[in-house]
Chains A and B, each alone.
Chain A
Amino acid sequence: MTSNNLLKQSSPNVVFEWLQGQFKFIVPPVLALGSLLFIWQLLCGGETPPLPPPTKVVTEAWKFIVDPFFDNGGTDKGLGRHIFESLKRVGIGYSGSVVIGISLGILIGTNVLMYRAFDPIFQVLRTVPPLAWLPISSAVFESFKESEVLRMLGTDAVELSAVFVIFITSVWPVLMNTAVGVQQVPQDYRNVAKVLRLSRFEYFTKILVPSAAPYIFTGLRIAIGLSWLAIVAAEMLKGGVGIGFFIWDSYNSGKYSEMIVALFYVGIVGLLLDKVVFYISKFLVQTDS
């Protein structure tokens, strides 16, 4: 009897109800997207539009939409492969900002003199846009073009300058947030440490870092967004594989439909990266509330 009832209850009826519940979350964005596409279609529906309308994008770039992972050699690859290459670069640059940003942040956060000395400089540097770093970075790494060390590392000056742009764009939020987080260790926790006479090392590992963790992760989340933003700038000059280069290349060769599809990919990957860092922080950070 009971199992029958249960069966009845978990019948399509339940699924339908769930769908009904989700309805109000699905319908509005779908409608919004639809109307945006419609407006776009209207705007770009003329004889010689500046951009192709959605219908044309889909037909022209169909190959890129249905198969992200094809590889015809050279730079003629699916968007998935381009993105994968870009992610590798972002991964390296971002790791650099995490390591350097957190350590420098702790240093200037715990030392008032250092903080006073460097904070104004960092405040200026952090507002410099990624694209502006590119010439400097290129100029600097150009001089290492013939370097043996780079060759041994299996990389080259252009590659390195791209990674550097990603790094330099994303390091500031990590650094600044870490510094603030370290400064904001609540007096209560410091009192606990004082009363228990914790050693410097214990204070660092048991109080300071965990207490600054929420701030650090806020920095990391902003940084992952920024480093992904920087990818297009970073790959602008770099030939070969990568979503940033792909966009520039498509533009240069007038393949606007492919360019537009690539933009969607960039957006979705950026969103996913942000979510990944968010869930990691949610898993690691314990706050009071």
Chain B
Amino acid sequence: MTYDSCALQNELPFLEIDHVDRIFPTKEGDYIAVEDVDLKVNKGEFVTLIGHSGCGKSTLLNIIAGLDRATNGGIILEGKEVKSPGPDRMMVFQNHSLLPWLTVKQNIALAVNRVFKHKSKKERNQIVEEHIDLVSLRPAADKFPREISGGMKQRVGIARALSIRPKLLLLDEPFGALDALTRGRLQEQLMKICEDHALSVVMITHDVDEALLLSDRIVMLTNGPSAHIGQILDVDLPRPRHRMEIVNNPSYYRMRGELIEFLNRQKKDKVQKAKRNVEAVVSRGKIEKVNLNIGFIPLTDCAPLVIAQEKGLFAKYGLEVTLSREKSWGAIADGVREGRLDAAQMVTGMPLAITLGMEKKEPVAIVTSLTLSRNGNAITIAKSVWDAGVRDLVSLKTYIQAQDHRPTFGMVHPASMHNLLLRHWLANAGIDSQTEVDVVVIPPAQMVSNLISSNIIGFSVGEPWNSRSVHEGLGYIIATDLDIWNGHPEKVLGVRADWAKEYPNTHLALTKALLEACAYCQPEQNREEILGIICQPAYLNAQSIYVRCGFNSPYRKGSGENLYLKDFNIFLGDNSPNRSEHLWVMAQMARWNLIPFPSNYDQILDRMLDPKTYIRASEDLNLPVAPVSLAPIVLADGEIFDPSAPMAGLPNSTEIREFVGDRQLV
């Protein structure tokens, strides 16, 4: 799914933006506006460039149009290099750029007469008339631009561009200057035209909803100088799309969140970059870097990070930590990738996902030295599903098969245990999570609201979100992760490999502080105090009644059944970065097509897992060191995972590939 496009690489792409740099010489030296932008656009694809103003997106579009030249690299359209502007790459300009001395008809005719010189006058006239009708401007055909509204002008611009049948349509914020109502109408019109004529389009916008509505792919550009592609989002919303309907698609807000998150991060980065230049890295004794920015997600199992901070454990080991409360796991991953965060609490599969460049991102090697928590998740189903008689996996299967559309489940990140365990659990009942249901990413904090609006029939998430929906009578817990894999690794500590290499003592201090915090979090008698701390506004900002269940009180499933689950939250036990477990995660990620299974998995795990730091930290703290073992894993359903044959028992179709993506690994 995420690596299909690799197979197409041998074919010639329709449009290739080949490692484009654009450097403007200035008095103070060269200004790099765009750096190393590399992008391929397929025929018939609608690609949007999004970014803050001044991020070089217009420069990039002008280079594609041929109005500007790349300093390095170039543009290749259907195998030919683009060197000058031409009508095969017609542009719809931001301010419509109609010639004010020509009428609507004459403006279109100017283009048509020029491009279709060889055609008869009658034919050319026909083309002009046809396109006037296409954008419904018949009544305004003989009016001058100043006599018509902004929306109409933009329609003329589109008609003019379409009339000459360009191979590629370039749109430079085409609807930016229009009021919301007109914009919406034009967007739908444009979408229809694009679909009818199978146009290939590159559009610039800074409107997130517009990008989601129109695009097949959204290319997010980082802030200039040296703007480059930060992330690419595949918009897999079904077509035809309607603006009122797509917002109900469960993935819509996840994607929207991802875009906004990216844009916000760009803004934050700008401020931080300026700050970072001022306060250089403070080192103290052996600690190479003292000031750390650590990301966490407000969930019950962020307790070790909060406790390390509140109980002064970070300070004890010479660290000054800022805990950064993040909105989604995607934000955590990007924060670490891009260096905004020094370290973060991660879902178990995230170090692998980032290292292997899951979801077409640039691979960045990650190191994990500590497992922060085990268990703590549950699968909740909506009240309506419960009312329909669903009590267990078997009745859930009957329910799913009775639906006339695919029911949707929410989970928090593709590489999270929530996703992998949910899919595994469904598969146990013979429910194929790739064809029979949709499993979509929704940030934890948005789960309950998505359940309320019936976008999803259930979700797999950490606490307090399950208990909250139970408490409010919105859902029922159908299974906890103890029913699937009791004792699975849930959250791990992740840092970039180059970071760990550069700051080994800081890394050890951080591991120590967190391990000591884990040890504090484990005993039952500390839990009430911890509950009070993590529920504070700076952390979970939740009522303790939601957090309490399972943490230090009986777990309520909503069915009246209250369970005393001693192991619902495990913070201290085997805190090592466990090789078998990460291997299981890797195999499962391959099973669900998130990554191709790397044939050199041993080498990857060698680099990614850092048991040495864990062992040193444990020894320094006089905590028992978990044995480094490659013991088989036994799941609750009796399935046994043998680490010596990780892919055994998985479908043959799963791709196996040597992983070479990462410079830092090699």
Q: Which A positions have Cβ atoms within 8 angstroms of B?
A: 188-189, 191-192, 194-198, 202, 206-207, 210-211, 213, 285-289
Which residues does chain A contribute within 8 Å of B102, judged by CB atoms?
A: 206, 210, 286
Q: Which residues of B contact A210 (CB under 8 A)?
A: 99, 101-102
Pairs A-B, 8 closest by C-beta atoms: A188-B97, A210-B101, A286-B101, A288-B100, A194-B85, A195-B85, A196-B114, A286-B100
Choose, from B38-46, B86-94, B417-425, B434-442, the stretch at the interface: B86-94
Residues of B within 8 A of A194 (CB): 66-67, 84-85
Please give, as numbers and ranges, the residues of chain A lying within 8 Å of B164 by CB-CB distance.
196
B625 in contact (CB, < 8 A): no
A289 to B144, alpha carbons, bound, how many Å?
10
B324 interface residue, CB < 8 Å from A? no
Q: Let me know if B558 is at the binding interface, CB within 8 A.
A: no
How far does the alpha carbon of A287 sit from the alpha carbon of B100 in the complex, in Å? Answer: 5
**B97 contacts A196, CB within 8 Å?**
no
Does B99 lie within 8 Å of A192, measured CB to CB?
Answer: yes
A225 shortest CB reach to chain B, Å: 26
Any A CB within 8 A of the CB of B115: yes
**Which of B65, B95, B97, B99 is within 8 Å of A206, CB to CB?**
B99
A188 touches B93 (CB 8 A): yes
Contacts of B91 in A (CB 8 A): 191, 195
Q: How far is the CA of A109 from the CA of B110 in the complex (A)?
A: 25
Residue of B with least CB distance to A195? B85
Bound together, the chains give a CA A207 to CA B100 distance in angstroms of: 10
Count, A-B residue pairs, CB within 8 A:
61
B-side residues, CB < 8 A to A, are: 65-67, 84-87, 89-91, 93, 95, 97, 99-102, 110-111, 114-115, 144-146, 164
18 A-B residue pairs with Cβ-Cβ distance under 8 Å, sorted by A, are A189-B97, A191-B65, A191-B93, A192-B99, A194-B85, A195-B85, A195-B90, A196-B110, A196-B115, A197-B85, A197-B114, A210-B101, A211-B99, A213-B101, A286-B100, A286-B102, A287-B100, A289-B146
Bound form: Cα–Cα A285–B110 in Å: 18
Asked if residues A286 and B146 are in contact (CB atoms below 8 Å), the reply is: yes
Q: Evaluate contact between B146 and A287: CB separation under 8 angstroms.
A: yes
- Chain A residues, CB < 8 A from B111: 196
* Residue contact A192 to B100, C-beta cutoff 8 Å: no
Q: Is the CB of A195 within 8 A of B95?
A: no
Q: How far is the CA of A69 from the CA of B22 in the complex (A)?
A: 73
Residues of A within 8 A of B114 (CB): 196-198, 202
B559 to chain A, nearest CB (A): 67
Which residue of A is nearest B161, CB measured? A195
In this complex, what residue of B is CB-closest to A288? B100
Q: How far is the CA of A196 from the CA of B163 in the complex (A)?
A: 12
Q: Which residue in chain B gives the minimum CB-CB distance to A209?
A: B101
Q: What's the nearest-Cβ distance from chain A to residue B107, in Å?
A: 9
Residues of B within 8 A of A202 (CB): 114
CB neighbours (8 Å) of B145 from chain A are 288
CB closest residue in chain B, given A188 = B97
User: In chain A, what residue has the closest Cβ to B164?
Assistant: A196
Are A195 and B67 neighbours in the complex by a CB distance under 8 Å?
yes
Complex CA–CA separation, A198 to B99 (angstroms): 14
CB-based nearest A residue for B110: A206
In angstroms, Cα B145 to Cα A10, docked, is 38
> CB-CB < 8 A to B86: which residues of A?
195, 197
How far apart are B177's CB and chain A's nearest CB, in angstroms?
Answer: 13
- On whether the beta carbons of B87 and A197 are closer than 8 Å, the reply is yes
CA distance A213 to B146 in the complex (A): 16
Q: Inside 8 A of A197's CB, which chain B residues have their CB?
A: 85-87, 114
Please name the residue on chain A nearest to B65 by beta carbon.
Answer: A195
A56 CB, nearest partner CB in chain B, Å? 53
Alpha-carbon distance A45/B51, docked complex (angstroms) = 79
Residues of chain B lying within 8 A (CB to CB) of residue A195: 65-67, 85-87, 89-91
- Distance, CA A191 to CA B95, complexed state (A): 12
CB-CB < 8 A to B87: which residues of A? 195-197
In the complex, how many angstroms separate the beta carbon of A268 from the nearest chain B beta carbon?
A: 33
The CA-CA distance from A210 to B91 in the complex, in Å, is 22
Chain B, residue nearest A206 (CB): B110
Contact between A191 and B85, CB atoms less than 8 A apart: yes
CB-based nearest B residue for A196: B114
Chain A residues within an 8 Å CB radius of B95: 188
B150, chain A: closest CB distance, angstroms: 12
Whether B146 and A288, one on each chain, are in contact in the complex, defined by CB atoms closer than 8 angstroms, is yes
B67 touches A191 (CB 8 A): yes
Q: Which of A194, A202, A213 has the most CB of B within 10 A?
A: A194
Question: A192 to chain B: which residues have CB within 8 Å?
Answer: 93, 97, 99
Chain B residues closer than 8 Å to A213, beta-carbon distance: 101
Give min CB distance, A254 to chain B, whole Å: 55
Query: Which of B89, B90, B115, B144 contacts A286 (CB under 8 A)?
Result: B144
**B147, closest chain A residue (CB):** A286
Q: Which of B85, B90, B101, B146 has the most CB of A within 10 A?
A: B101
Complex alpha-carbon distance, A278 and B71, angstroms:
48
Instruction: Provide the bound-state CA to CA distance between A213 and B111, in Å.
Output: 22
Query: Using Cβ atoms and an 8 Å threshold, which residues of chain A touch B85?
Result: 191, 194-195, 197
Contacts A197-B87, A206-B110 known; list 8 others, CB within 8 Å.
A191-B93, A195-B66, A195-B89, A195-B90, A196-B111, A198-B114, A286-B102, A288-B145
Q: How far is the CB of A287 from chain B (nearest CB, A)?
A: 6
A194 to B95 CA separation, bound complex (whole angstroms): 17
Write the nearest CB–CB distance from A280 to chain B, whole angstroms: 15
Tell me the minimal C-beta distance from A204 to chain B in angstroms. 14
